[in-house]
């Protein structure tokens, strides 16, 4: 059984610094994408304060399809370029949206979501695996510290995927 340790830090860099080795631990020795994605989403969801949804959208060669996640049931398919997830996938750059209601290109899945961060997931050969999407019920929940922290967590995820 994998023991999840309670996060003791209260500052964001400290929270991510404690979370990263736990993510590495839960992924260690396993290459199955669905298994790793499911445990990754569960770990992050329970470790981070003030989030209502986190999970994967996986690129099927045409569009993004919802993968393992925690939170309420979500939109299933998102076209590239559509919504914050589709923009992150298309531009291959992390997107932070402080107020999803003020964002013209946001796909509503959970009406509780007010802000979000989406990190693109790229394989070593540069191809798109999908995106990692985290939503919060608070406005402007995500900042540069979250970007750095989430990108480090996602790098560990991609490393484990081989
Ligand atoms: N926020 C996304 C849609 C997915 S849900 O938030 C789970 C977007 O606009 O891309």
Ligand 1 pocket, 39 CB below 6 A? no
Among protein residues, the one with the nearest Cα to ligand 1's atom 3 is: 107
CA pseudo-torsion sign 39, 45, 48, 54: positive
Domains and CATH numbers, the chain: 12-161 (3.30.450.40)
Ligand 1 centroid distance, CA of 56 (Å) = 10
| Angle in degrees, CA 23, 88, 24, rounded to 5 | 10
Per the CB < 8 A criterion, the answer to whether 27 and 40 are in contact is yes
Residues 48-78 pLDDT 10s: 999 999 999 999 999 999 999 999 999 999 9
pTM for the complete prediction? 0.96
- CA–CA distance, 37 with 33 (Å, rounded to integer): 6
Ligand 1 centroid distance, CA of 50 (Å) = 17
- CA–CA distance, 157 with 99 (Å, rounded to integer): 27
């Amino acid at each position: 059984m994998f023991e999840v340790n309670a996060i003791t830090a209260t500052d964001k860099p400290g929270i991510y610094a404690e979370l990263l080795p736990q993510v590495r631990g839960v992924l260690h020795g396993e290459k199955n994408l669905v298994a790793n994605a499911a445990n990754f989403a569960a770990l992050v969801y329970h470790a981070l304060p003030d989030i209502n949804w986190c999970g994967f959208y996986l690129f099927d060669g045409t569009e993004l399809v919802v993968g393992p996640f925690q939170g309420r049931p979500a939109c299933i398919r998102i076209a590239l370029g559509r919504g914050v997830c589709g923009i992150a996938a298309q531009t291959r750059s992390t997107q932070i949206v402080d107020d999803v209601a003020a964002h013209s290109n946001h796909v509503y899945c959970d009406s509780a979501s007010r802000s979000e961060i989406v990190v693109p997931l790229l394989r070593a050969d540069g191809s798109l695996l999908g995106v990692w999407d985290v939503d919060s019920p608070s406005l402007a929940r995500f900042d540069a510290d979250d970007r750095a922290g989430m990108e480090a967590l996602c790098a560990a995820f991609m490393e484990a995927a081989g």
